[in-house]
Each structure stands twice: as C-alpha cells, then as structure tokens.
Amino acid sequence: MARTLPRTDVAIIGLGWTGAILAYELSGAGLNVVAIERGAWRDTATDFPPSWAPDELRYAIRLDLFQRPAQSTVTLRNKISQTALPVRQFSSFLPGDGVGGAGVHWNGMTYRFLETDFRLRSHLTKRYGSHILPEDMTIQDWPVDYKDLEPHYDRFEKLAGISGKAGNIDGKIQPGGNPFEAPRSAEYPTPANKQPLGSTLYSKAAKSLGYHPFPVPSGNLSQSYTNPLGVTLGQCTYCGFCERFGCGNYSKASPQTRVLPALMLRKNFEARTNCNVTRINLDSTGKKATGVTYVDKSGETWVQPADMVMVCAFAFNCVHLLLVSGIGKPYDPVSNTGTVGRNYAYQCTSGVLVKLKDTILNPFISGGAIGMSVDDFNGDNFDHSGLGFVGGGVISATQTGGRPIGQISYFPDDPKWGSGWKKATKENYQSVYALGIQGSVYSYRDAYLDLDPTYKDPYGSPLLRMTFDWHENELKMSAFVTKKLAGIGKAMGASRLAAYPRTAPYSVVPYQTTHNTGGAVMGDNPSNSVVNRYLQSWDVSNVFVFGASVFPQNAGYNPTGTVGATTYWALDAIKTKYLKNPGPMVPM
Amino acid sequence: MLDKRFTRRVFLVSSTSCAALLGSLTRASADTYHGALPWSPDQDHAPVPVSESGWTYFTPAEAATIEALVDRLIPADDLSPGGKEVGIAVYIDRQLSGAFGQDKGLYMAPPFAEGLPGQGSQSPITPAQRYRKTIDALNEYCADAYFGKSFAQLAATEQDKIIVKMESGMLRLKGLSSKAFFQILWQNTKEGFFADPVYGGNRGMAGWKMIGFPGARYDYLDWVDRHNEHYPKPPIGIESHPDWSAHS
Amino acid sequence: MRQAISSCLFVLMCFAFEAVLVPPTSAASSQSGTASAQTLAQGKKLVMSNGCAGCHNAPGGATLVGGRVIGGWTAPGLTNDKRTGLGNWSAGEIADYLKTGRNSYAAAAGPMAGIVTNVTAKMSEAEVDAIAAYLKSLPGKAANIRPVAASNPAMIRGGAVYADECAACHTLRGVGQARLFPALKGSPEVQADNPTTLLRVVLQGAQSVGTEAAPTASAMPAFGKLLNDQQIADVLTYIRNDWGNAAAPVAKDAVAAARKTLQKTP
C-alpha cells in the first residue's frame, strides 16, 4: 500500500544534468524541489578518486556507473514484423545511473547543432525540393530556432566551463574555430585544450585537403575555471579515463563538479536516491499530474504529490514513464496516429583505422573530448545534390584513451590470438589511430518506441520496445562521409587503412553511442509532438520533459550541448510565464 | 565491490542525531540528502584485492584446463610471460565466483528465445555455468580423440588445433557452442592480461609492460604536447607501486 | 554530513582556525604597515571576542602561533610567520578565506569549516579586512628549520608516493589549484610542528567547506586503507620538506598512533 508524503512544488525524476539544472534554478525561484533518483549518490572523493578511478575492468568493462539491465532495459527488433527480445546486457548504448547520470561518465564533447538542423525539413525541401526526402522519413522542423537557443547554449557552456575555440562570433569568422558553426555571442569560457600527437597529425592532414579542423569543444577543462554558480573546476591532467569513468580530479564538467555543490546549499531542495519512479499520477480528468509514485530500495511504495513534474531521466526512461502513465497517445506506425514513442532516432557512427609510420602515439595521454574535428561534411554544410542522401556527421580525431582491454585497434588480417596477436597488439598500440564519425540519424515512420507485450521490469511494468533499423539514407550518408574521413586518413600518411562505414542491420552488440534520441519529441502542434516548444506536455500541462527524447531527429553531433540549451530555454519560459500563470504555454 | 553501491550511506538515516540536527530528512529507506553536499570521513570503495592462492570456483582439473588454454592464447615469448604465469586463470576463477560469473545485474527474466545476432545474447546460461559445462565437454572430447588425455595433457600444437576449431565453432561439444565459449574465454583472457593486478591477472603488470601502458597513472599534464617521445615512467597499478619501497 | 555535524558541535566548544590551508612564496609581504591603528585595534578586538585564541594560541599560551590539538585537528599559526603562519598570504587572501572559506592557496575544513559558515562568512568586509590587517601585524616566531635532505630514503619513497597518488590534484610542484585543491608548498598546516591534521586528512580524507560565495566543497579522498603506515609517514615527510618547505619528518609510529586515535574518536 502506497503511503503519501507531504506535497512539494516540484518533483524532478532523475538527478543528472537536466535535473540538477532545473533543481538549482527552480529552488532559486523559491520553489520547494524534490529530486527522486533511481541510483545512488555519487561524489568524486568517495566514488572515483584518482587512486582507483583508472580501473578499466570495473568501469569500462563491468560498467560500474551504468544502469543495470536487471533494473530496467529495453527490447529490440529491427522490423515491425519481428519479435522484440530484451537487451539483456547493455553494449550498443550505455544508459547512466545514479546522481549525475550520464554527466558522470560522458566524454565531455559539447557541440551546438547547426542553424539548419533546427529547420531541417523546410530547409532541405527549400534547397533541394521535397523529392530529396524519402517518403517514410518523418523529420520535422524544431519548434525553436537556433536564435532562440543561442543564449541558452552560451549559458550551458558557461555553467560547464567548456574549453574550445569559437569559429563564428556574431557572424564574424574566427581563425582556428569551426567556420560552419552558427553565430555565437561569445568565445568559449576557457581556451582550447592542448592536442596530443594523433589529433595534431589529423588536423594537419585535414587542412592540407582544404578542410577546416577545429578543437573539439571539451568538458575536460584546459584550465581551472569558476562558473557563474561560484563552483570551481580544475585543470584536466589528460589521464585518459573520461569515457565510462567518473573524473577523479574535478576537471571534467559534471553535475557533481558544476551544479550540486551550489544546489545542496539550498534549504528548499531535497534529493532522494535509490528510489525508482514507476509512474506519474494524474487526476480524474487525466489532464493534470498530481505527483509521482516511487519505490524505494526496500521495496516500499510512496506517493510524492507535486504541482509540477519534471521528467529528467535518460531518453528511454522518459518515454517509458509517459507510456506507462498514460500521458499522451502512444504512437502507432501502422495507422500513423499518436505521438508518444514517435521519431526515435540514434546516431550513425562509423570509423577509419590508420596505421602511422614512425609514431609514438601514447594513446593513454588523452581525454574524452580532446581532439580535432572537421565539420565540412556535417548536416547541410555540403551540397547534397545528386548524392542520394541527406545529413552528415562531425568527423573527428579524438582518441579518448589508451585502455588496453577495449581500446586497441586491429586490422582485419591481424592475428586473433597467440604470439602473432601479441606482436600486433604491441605494434598497433603506438601506431594505429581510430578516427570516428558521429553521423546524423533522421527519423522514420517505422523507427519508434512502444511498450513490449511480453517482457516486464521488476516493478511489473512492460519494458520499452525499440523498433529500429538503419535506413538507406543513413547508410549512404555513412558510406560517403566515411570515405571523406578515409581521405584524411590517407593524407595523414597512413601505411595501412581500413574504413568501416555503418552496415545494416542495426545490432545491439557492438558499442556505438549512447546518443539515443526522440520518442517524446517537441513540435509546433499536438499532432506531431509530445511536448510544445517549452518542453511542456501537450496533454498534461504540469508535466515537462527534458533531454534528448525531445529531439525531433538527431543531428551529427553529440547531444549534451543541445540538451543543456533546451533545458535553459524551457526554464526561462517556466520561470517567466508558467509560474505566473500555470497552464498550457502554447495554445492547442 | 560492485554491490556496495546499493548499500552504502545507510548511515545517513540510521543516525538519529543527524536527523535531529538537520531537521526531518528521513523517508523510510530512502537515502535522503538535504542541506549540504554529503560527505563522510573514511569512505573507501576501492577494489578489494583478490586472494592470491587457491581456487574459488574452478576444481583443480578445470583450473588445469584453463591454465593450458590461456597459455596458448597468450603464450610465453620474448614479449611477455605466458597466460598462466601472469595469473589469467586466477583472474577468470575470481570473476566466475563473483558477480560476473552469475550474470548479476543483467536482465535474466524469461522467456529465453532464440534471437537474431543483432539482438544480443539470449542465453540463460551464466558464464560460470558455461565455463564448467564447456570445460567438461572439452575434456571429454579430448579423452575420446586423444586416448584418454585431457586438454592440458596435449602437446601445444594439438591444443592450438583445438582452439582454432573452437574459434570457428567447428568443435562439437555435446550441444554447447564452442564458438560462444571461445568468445567469452578470449574476452576474459584479454581482461586477465590487461586488467589491474588487484583482480588477480596481469601479474607484475606484464600485459601493460608489453605495450607500454603506464597503468593507473592520472597526470600527464607535462606530457600531452611532448609528441613522439616515449613516456619514461613504468606502469603502476591501484596497489602496485614498486618504487614506493625501492629505497627501504 | 557527519562532518558538518561535528563542525557544528565544535562551534559550541570553541572557536578554531583550521585549514588544509596554504601559500606559495611569491606574493607575500606584510600589509600591516598600511593599516590604521584603528583598524588594527578593531581586528584585534574581533579576534579576541570571537575566541580565535582558544584554538590558535600555543599550548604554552603564546599568542596565535598555533600548535594546539583540538578535536583531532592541529590549529595552525595565524601570525605573519612564513613557515608556520600566514606570512605567505596577503591581507586580501586572509579576508577572502574568512569570507568564502577558500582562497588561492587554501580551503577551510574540519572545525574551521563550521567557523567560516557560522561566523566569519557572516562578517562584514570591513570586519574580515580588520582581522586580516591585525593578523598581518603579528610578527610570528620565525624559527629556522633545516629541511630533510632530498636524498633521504624517506624523501625518495615519499616523493614516489606523492607523484602517484597526490600530484593529479596538488600538482607535481605542490602548488595545488587555486580555489580548489590546497597548495602544499608554503603551507603552515603542512609544516606545523604537530602533524595531527595531516595524519587525519590523509587517513580519513576531508571535505572543504562550501559557502554561498564559494560552494565548491571539494573533498580529499581517504587514504587510510590504500596506504600503509610507512607509506603515509614517507609521503608526509616528503610534502613537509620539498618545494622549500621544512618540518620534522613524520615517523611510522605516529601514523599507527593516529590510526588508533581516529578509530576511537573519528
């Protein structure tokens, strides 16, 4: 029997980046805020200090900081005609868990999307004609423009202290930065990182081909920095343990190192950990949320009444909560009705291996977001006429670490075990560099999320079912952009090279990326979206959804910068409009 | 070690003085944080080094089989000592008796259906079970094919031939997938060669020394822009620091 | 949170000045020459009325030269002495520390965390400036100690421990990171005759204070399980005697004794 707790103004589900930012801002506005987090509390000195943070087995192989599939997972099928089976062990994507969420174990790459990414459908049809888009492609314009988000991108970058070099300040192209980026109002808060050998060689080669390399905007800080909340972050020591790890010396931007110290001083904020929200409760009209129900770690059920419910979990879990709570109409691809679960997208990653002569790459001297990128083949930065696809990706040299179990690259004909493997391992470690692409994935009628009919989580709810496969457009994009990357690899003087464009079908086995997006997308009307331009549910106006599940389709960049920007954008509207006059902020 | 995350910080709610001082902050078994960034002295979630001797999961016969297998996968040569000597079998034994061996934390609810390769493993067999059953079947196969000998008693060339067959899945082992076993064995072997020595393998940091990985170091600030130079310091592990006692 | 509570209780007992404090040698020089007699008198009055002497006077009673062990923490000196007092800090740095709990060199922890939160952070700018001016006017004891030689085996071993376990935050040069990780070079806490605070902080870890003005509250991990008595003695001897620091070596037995004490009264 559920017990009911005293009412609060705001209940936040999930205490990662978006939950922490919301909690700080809304408690600052005088509201009582309770954050309910499924995982444990985590802090630097206790959970991942430098002495034992660099433990590849524990963190990168056994995935200590990640969601346990036993607690929550998804089922997968490639086609509607197939039977979905549970992802019993995460590997293609790795949802985070615990306080800080994915912000603890991320690499720190903090891009802004392109101006054209936000008006994707209208831009592409205007430039190329509507025939360029496949019939089943369901991309749509964002209900916000880059200009709306610019101040909020800036705000998130200043919160995190991002290190980088601007390429376009107020329309003026800046040498050394990304000339394709949308105009920024300011330089990055901290200068670009120093570059190791591999990305330096990449940058030189890209330049020789006429491309425009720029330093990856990085949450691994080039120097100490105090953010507007007064919280100080340290200088990155290039230890090479960002990806899948917590940072031991306060130098990677995370909710822990950027927001929580200031948030926890707020008397009107409380965090509850090891508490799993199982549903958002609605009143009898179904139009208003009354709070949330959660199960604590002893298995006891609690009801937390709240005036506002902020859904700040990982993309999958946000969509799952909406579906099990009956908020919005579930998407049905056959009848093409409903919206919840629609436009699930992913990221189409691919890579190129290059073997470099006479190099000592020291791959262990690195950071998650330290490297160089080229944006010449991202989004619509290049002419797609006659190419047979739309979209693109950021192509980068970012060796995130030199972890020996998982990060040594081999060519297909290298021996697989025995003395030959040992020889190849030793040689490749210092000479083989893996270049990579974060490719866009556009949305389609048959790529979506709904509830699985068979498999359930430990709380008795159906698992989320993912129906997803690669489409012709993305495979062609991947082939094209990977070829361009291979060209840079050749120009690096590679003595051997192997290109790996993405191939179908989609598989959950090899790690690709944790940039799962969509399912609760934002849009300009209730027929094409779950939330409005202020991330407010069309159906239940005191429920808001944050994070990448609101992206209408995925761009060719890491998502965190845009997650931060959309969060601050919506917060502004909540503070200036909603709190004064609770109710729908966009008329239906 | 991995389970501590589920039980820690219970003290927060067990301390009544804490609650009295900071206001009512307990909610049954929720871990509740309020008023200050939580921290408490003497917290340490470092890995506990595994025991150095004996077997925690394998029988002596199973251990001998695994030692023979890892000694062929990572043979002794001029690059490093062999898999047995660097403790890979010990590493695998400790993993199988721990959370990994039981598939702890994975989604193991039925029904188990045969899936497509892209749907990932759908096997109800835990790694610990897979090792036990397959080692048994492998030795039975060897006894049949090599006049009663176990895998460990075969000559290296014969062992290699069997491994090649396992790798391709051609070795028939009483209905068990020899390929699935090879994959998990090879993955665990690499782990035992390259994981921190606290887990029982990578003795003397031999795997790290072979490739020039400096191990659990955390500060390369002075080295990031020294391109094409060999990093001069030897590896260290979480509990492996030879130079701390070099001048005793 | 326990730490916060013990700090609060501590406030009731006495006023202390603690720190995992610190300073390098460059920006030093006393500013007391520029402070008016009135300011110095106000500073002195504030120091006395807030009970700073209760912790920071010497065991024998000498004014604010530090050395008392209270609640398991050594109170450092507050005089203008460069080795065991605040001689390396400018008056501005002292005021910053009192107001926010941290400055370029140091961050308050232990009992002083509660003092900052409940007392000094609530003072006016003029008040913390007056205290700073007064402290800068105290000449200090200025004892000369020869550092332990770099060739000493304990220094070599301790330097190795330091490079592996400490440098990622405190840096190889011992200067830390401003407003985040305390500098060890030039620190009165590190060079205090009595290493009780050092032993506690290395064995159990410590959290720095978070204030409205400087909320960071960065924490030092506990090394009590990772390092044995000899290793802790070595690394403490090392940080007390490199980078121009000088203090008596720390013996293995002192570490063992500190472990026992902390087990009884954490």
Q: Please compute the mean of the pLDDT values over residues A483-500 and round it to a whole number.
A: 98
What does the CA dihedral A351, A482, A108, A569 come to, rounded to 10 degrees? -150
DSSP letter, residue A575: I
CA dist B121 and B143 (Å) reads 30
CA dist B18 and B14 (Å) reads 8
**pLDDT of res. C20:** 35
- Name all chains with 3 or more CB-CB pairs below 8 Å to chain A: B, C
**pLDDT of res. A35:** 98
Concatenated DSSP letters for A13-81?
A: E--SHHHHHHHHHHHHTT--EEEE-SS----HHHH--TTTS--IIIIIIS-TTBPPTTT--EEEESSTT
Tell me phi and psi for residue A281, to 5 degrees. -90, 140
Do the beta carbons of residue A529 and residue A521 sit within 8 Å? Answer: yes
For chain A, the helix, strand and coil percentages under 3-state DSSP, each to the nearest 5: 25, 25, 55
Domain ranges in chain C are 2-136, 153-264
Tell me phi and psi for residue A103, to 5 degrees. -65, -15
The pTM of the full predicted model, rounded to 2 decimals, is 0.94
**Which of 199-238 (C) contact A at CB < 8 A?**
205, 207, 210-223, 226
CA dist B174 and C266 (Å) reads 59
**pLDDT of res. B26:** 39
Instruction: Kindly state the tokens that stand for B53.
Output: 């001797």
CA dist C42 and A400 (Å) reads 56
Query: For C179-191, what is each residue's pLDDT tens digit?
Result: 999 999 999 999 9
Residue A210 has pLDDT above 70, yes or no: yes
Distance of CA A207 to the CA centre of its chain: 29
DSSP letter, residue A416: S
- Helix C91-100 to helix C111-118 angle (10° resolution) is 90
Taking CA–CA distances from A48, the nearest residue in chain C reads C221
Is B213 an 8 Å CB contact of chain A?
Answer: yes
Classify strands A8-13 and A301-311 as parallel, antiparallel or unpaired: parallel
Select from B36, B244, B248 the Cβ nearest to the Cβ of C1: B36
What residues in chain B have their Cβ under 8 A from chain C's Cβ atoms?
Answer: 11-12, 15, 17-18, 21-22, 33, 35-44, 46, 217-219, 221-222, 236, 238-239, 241, 243-248
Inter-chain CB proximity C180 and A265 less than 8 Å:
no
CA dist C261 and C265 (Å) reads 6
Residue C260: list chain B partners with CB under 8 A: none
Cα of C205 to nearest chain A Cα, Å: 8
Distance of CA A119 to the CA centre of its chain: 20
**Which of 155-174 (C) contact A at CB < 8 A?**
165, 168-169
CA dist B48 and C156 (Å) reads 28
Cα of B174 to nearest chain A Cα, Å: 25
Cα of C195 to nearest chain B Cα, Å: 18
CATH number for the segment(s) C2-136: 1.10.760
**pLDDT of res. C4:** 38
CA dist B138 and B146 (Å) reads 12
CA dist C105 and C82 (Å) reads 13
Q: Please compute the mean of the pLDDT values over residues A465-485 and round it to a whole number.
A: 98
Residue B23 has pLDDT above 50, yes or no: no
CA dist A359 and A361 (Å) reads 6
Instruction: Kindly state the tokens that stand for A149.
Output: 């988000």
DSSP letter, residue C107: B
Which residues are A311's β-sheet partners? Answer: A13, A545
CA dist A21 and A23 (Å) reads 5
**pLDDT of res. A588:** 84
Q: If we measure between CA atoms, which residue out of C138, C142, C238, C261 comes closest to residue C190?
A: C238
Tell me phi and psi for residue A402, to 5 degrees. -120, 45
Instruction: Kindly state the tokens that stand for A182.
Output: 């949308």
Continuous H helices in chain B = 4-7, 11-14, 16-22, 60-73, 88-96, 127-145, 156-168, 178-194, 206-211
Q: Is A515 a catalytic residue?
A: yes
CATH number for the segment(s) C153-264: 1.10.760.10
Do the beta carbons of residue A343 and residue A138 sit within 8 Å? Answer: yes
CA dist A116 and A180 (Å) reads 11
**pLDDT of res. C19:** 34
Residue A559 has pLDDT above 90, yes or no: yes
Q: Provide the total of helices (H) and of strands (E) in chain A, helices listed first.
A: 13, 22
- Name all chains with 3 or more CB-CB pairs below 8 Å to chain C: A, B
Chain A, chain B: beta-carbon pairs less than 8 Å apart: 259
CA dist A562 and A149 (Å) reads 8
Inter-chain CB proximity C217 and B37 less than 8 Å:
yes
Domain ranges in chain A are 3-578
Place of tokens 């029997």: A1
Select from A50, A418, A454 the Cβ nearest to the Cβ of B218: A50
**pLDDT of res. C116:** 97
Which residues are A348's β-sheet partners? Answer: A439
CA dist A311 and A327 (Å) reads 12
**pLDDT of res. B119:** 98
Residue A76: list chain B partners with CB under 8 A: 118-120
Inter-chain CB proximity B231 and A362 less than 8 Å:
yes
Residue A284 has pLDDT above 70, yes or no: yes
Query: For C90-114, what is each residue's pLDDT tens digit?
Result: 999 999 999 999 999 999 999 999 9
Query: For C244-266, what is each residue's pLDDT tens digit?
Result: 999 999 999 999 999 999 988 77
CATH topology of domain A3-578: FAD/NAD(P)-binding domain (3.50.50)
Q: If we measure between CA atoms, which residue out of A223, A244, A240 comes closest to residue A232?
A: A223
Inter-chain CB proximity C168 and B218 less than 8 Å:
yes
DSSP letter, residue B245: S
Q: Please compute the mean of the pLDDT values over residues A69-73 and round it to a whole number.
A: 96
Select from A3, A238, A418 the Cβ nearest to the Cβ of B224: A238
Query: For B222-242, what is each residue's pLDDT tens digit?
Result: 999 999 999 999 999 999 999
CA dist C199 and C205 (Å) reads 9
Q: Please compute the mean of the pLDDT values over residues B200-207 and round it to a whole number.
A: 98
Cα of B21 to nearest chain C Cα, Å: 7
Instruction: Kindly state the tokens that stand for A294.
Output: 């959660």
Percent of chain A with pLDDT over 90: 99
Q: If we measure between CA atoms, which residue out of A102, A39, A23 comes closest to residue A264?
A: A23
Tell me phi and psi for residue B227, to 5 degrees. -80, 145
Residue B6 has pLDDT above 90, yes or no: no
**pLDDT of res. A556:** 98
Domains C2-136 and C153-264 belong to one CATH topology: yes
Residues 6 or more apart from B88 whose CB is under 8 A from it? B70, B74, B188, B189, B192, B193, B201
Place of tokens 């629609």: A342
Inter-CA distances, A82 with A332, B108, B116, Å: 16, 21, 10
Place of tokens 């960002």: A242
Do the beta carbons of residue A351 and residue A398 sit within 8 Å? Answer: no
Select from C10, C156, C164 the residue whose CB has the most chain B CBs within 10 Å, as the one to mutate to test that interface.
Answer: C164
Residue B31 is inside which H or E element, if any?
Answer: strand B31-33
Q: Please compute the mean of the pLDDT values over residues A21-49 and round it to a whole number.
A: 97
* CB-count burial class (<10 Å; 0-12, 13-18, 19+) for A127: middle
Taking CA–CA distances from B216, the nearest residue in chain C reads C164
Instruction: Kindly state the tokens that stand for A58.
Output: 């524990």
